Amino acid sequence: MIQSHSYILVEGQQDVLFLGKLLRELGLQDVRDVDAISSLWELFKDQDQLRQHRGLVAAKKLGLQIHQLFSGVCFQNDSHSVVVRKVSGSGTKFLRNLESLEQLLDGGFSSLAAIGLVPDADNDPDSVFQSCKAALKNVGLVEPNEPSQIVDADTRTGIFLLPGGGATGALEDLLLDCAETVYPELLAGATRYVDDVDRTHATFAAEDLLEIGRPQGRAKAIVGCVSCFLKPGSTIQNSVYRDRWVSEHSLPLPRVTELCLFLKQLVGLI
């Protein structure tokens, strides 16, 4: 019987799937059947879509995908259920999501074993951390004193700044760590390609270089090249989910190990 429910907010879909791969390594599985998701998460089920889905199944037609039926991704085993949800931004958006969650959950936050925030550190980890602390405090939760710390309260809380280790950056930097171990030749070629492009060439317009010129532009471009080779024509998140970024070779990496430990302590798997 599932007795422990945890809720984790992240910034993007690839973050959802990367954390999901780690949770699978920790013994939880992503739930493909929306009816198998713990009843506590009923508020995330789209009832209108569910009725349509069941009508299509009864008529033996193609039904809807689970992502069309359930907001977030759920990972479960016999005793623990974890929903990882993207909010496309941290800070204020994390706060608004938590405010809505408390109102919608039967029993509010007391029904949850843990709440975790996993934003990108970007270029100012301290500012991001303080913003996340404020989001937790403003909804009455105990905030940690430092990143990666788990507060052991009635509802555990924790904040992990990607890529970990106190560094600036984002998930892409953690993916580069993984690629260096799992796909070293592919990473080397992708890095050469991105770095060898002459950005001063006359054929480039200013708008062409806008994204690559951003702080995370280079890392995103390199990760994109690696994922495109592995899954041509697909998305980075599809590659994160289906390829070996998370594997026996990358799990021992320091920042991956740090994130795994954070998840284990937050969710209560140790």
pLDDT tens digits for range 193-230: 999 999 999 999 999 999 999 999 999 999 999 999 99
Asked if residue 170 lies in contact with residue 122, where contact means CB atoms within 8 angstroms, the answer is yes
Asked if residue 234 lies in contact with residue 227, where contact means CB atoms within 8 angstroms, the answer is yes
> Per-residue pLDDT tens for 150-183?
999 999 999 999 999 999 999 999 999 999 999 9
pLDDT at 58: 59
pLDDT at residue 128 above 60?
Answer: yes
pLDDT at residue 112 above 90?
Answer: yes
Q: What percent of the chain has pLDDT over 70?
A: 90
pLDDT at 125: 96
Asked if residue 258 lies in contact with residue 147, where contact means CB atoms within 8 angstroms, the answer is no
The secondary structure of 212-224 as a DSSP string is TTSTTHHHHHHHH
**pLDDT-based confidence at residue 91 (cuts at 50, 70, 90):** confident
pLDDT at 61: 55
Overall average pLDDT of the 38-51 stretch: 76
> Per-residue pLDDT tens for 12-29?
889 999 999 999 999 999
**pLDDT-based confidence at residue 54 (cuts at 50, 70, 90):** low
Is 244 in a helix, a strand, or coil?
coil
pLDDT at residue 57 above 60?
Answer: no
Overall average pLDDT of the 121-128 stretch: 96
pLDDT at residue 48 above 90?
Answer: no
Cα(214)–Cα(230) distance, integer angstroms: 25
Cα(156)–Cα(142) distance, integer angstroms: 8
**pLDDT-based confidence at residue 1 (cuts at 50, 70, 90):** confident
Residues 6+ apart with CB under 8 A from 178: 245, 246, 247, 250, 253, 256
pLDDT at 120: 96
Cα(156)–Cα(143) distance, integer angstroms: 9
Give the rounded distance of the alpha carbon of 95 from its chain centre. Answer: 17
pLDDT at residue 70 above 70?
Answer: no
pLDDT at residue 50 above 60?
Answer: no
Handedness of CA 94, 162, 153, 146 (dihedral sign): negative
